[in-house]
Homo-oligomer: A and B are copies of this chain.
Amino acid sequence: MRNVYCVGVGITKYGNLESSAPELASSAAVEALTDANINPGDVDGMFLANCQGAYGGTQLHMSPLVATDLGMPNIPSVRVENACASGGCAFRLGYMSVAGGFNDVALVVGTESVSAMPTARSTETFAFGGDSEYEAKSGISFPGFYALMARAHMEKHGTTREQLAAIAVKNHLNGTRNPKAHFRKELDKQRVLNSFIVTDPLSLFDCSPFSDGAAAVLLVPENMIGRFENPIRVAGSGQASTPNALHDRQDLTTITGTSVAAEKACRQAEVKVKDLSFAEVHDCFTIAEVIALEDIGVYKKGQAALASEAGETAIEGIFPVNPSGGLKAKGHPVAATGVGQIVELVEQLRNQAGDRQVKNAKTGLAHNVGATGATVVVHILSNE
């Protein structure tokens, strides 16, 4: 198996962009090609993540369309959809393809355009990412799922709304330092607590937005990195699943797929969690950041919310989490999210993250979740 490196990254602004998903994909990909200083003709495979193409945008079969737009009309390409983990899955397939010797220059793109949909329809279609027949059709959608998990976490570990609010405040502050973030406005804790309840105990500012956006990464094997500046190594890749439906789980305060995927990635990367410099985790709701940090093993069960409230996960803290602003403030363009996390890791590990630079960043972890954890993908990148 070959070592694989990220040699080019691109990312659009996240937000309400009035562009189609293929257009956004091309924008991010062109930026990645420019960043790597390579020609479209050098790319020999594409892995494209898109979630809502069919239902929202009336475009299936998006990967060869984008490849043609980019001037690479003959390369093999696939579209991957695993709900909000689509991007992480596409990155992992691109990694596997280069590591396995099937591609020498793989382009991974995640893209989504959802803001043109009415919010109620978005919420409905995203609910299709769970166990649609039993969950969506009974009226429960993602804010409801995560509210159940938050309530269970509060009961079991004493987690408070104030602690969750501290995560929103931290991620919004980080977002002000990220020029590509959807939200670049500071929040204070009281505003989070006073915002209207979406599904008790989660209020508006506990929830990430629906964003439009795209992100792209170029991958090459080790023998090719000589011609690139600042190649960043993919040190570990892990993916695992958890039963889609909450009613199939034994414990709502944990997502077992996260623990399995993180352990696989760490084992491959030969690093311990305590040796990581920082992480981008899937904070679709504030409670999701808490559960992720505990399942990855950064904190023991019941400790992550306390630590976040104490400032440990700030950019200047002992373990920075979501320096990009996370899904909460950077935004959540569904299938782009997992690829955007990799872009953040690469920029941090190149020491090019500007105002939000994590000091002495050597090893970063990206954690991307589909639905309530039915799919979890974890990657570890390193500049060493």
Interchain CB contact under 8 A, B75 and A240: yes
Looking at the assembled complex, report how far the CB atom of A295 sits from the nearest CB atom of chain B, in whole angstroms: 13
Interchain CB contact under 8 A, A374 and B65: yes
In the complex where A52-B54, A64-B375, A102-B96 touch, is A78 in contact with B75 (Cβ < 8 A)? no
Q: Which of B59, B63, B67, B132 contacts A128 (CB 8 A)?
A: B59
The complex places the Cα of A59 from the Cα of B78 at a distance, in Å, of 19
Interface membership of A15, Cβ < 8 A: no
Interchain CB contact under 8 A, B61 and A244: yes
Interface membership of A382, Cβ < 8 A: no
Which chain B positions have C-beta within 8 A of A64?
82, 241-244, 370, 374-375
Which chain B positions have C-beta within 8 A of A89?
78
Interchain CB contact under 8 A, A256 and B60: no
The complex places the Cα of A245 from the Cα of B81 at a distance, in Å, of 23
Q: Which of A69-92 contact B (CB under 8 A)?
A: 73-83, 89, 92
Interface membership of A195, Cβ < 8 A: no
Interchain CB contact under 8 A, A82 and B74: no
The complex places the Cα of A132 from the Cα of B20 at a distance, in Å, of 11
Chain B CB within 10 A, most for which of A60, A82, A133: A60
Which residues of A are in contact with B by a Cβ distance under 8 Å? 1, 20, 51-55, 57-61, 63-65, 67-68, 73-83, 89, 92-93, 96-97, 99-102, 125, 128-133, 136, 239-245, 248, 256-257, 260-261, 370-371, 374-375
A sample of 16 more A-B contacts (CB under 8 A), given A61-B83, A61-B370, A61-B375, is: A54-B125, A57-B132, A58-B136, A61-B81, A61-B128, A63-B375, A68-B244, A75-B241, A76-B92, A76-B375, A80-B80, A93-B93, A96-B96, A96-B100, A96-B102, A100-B100
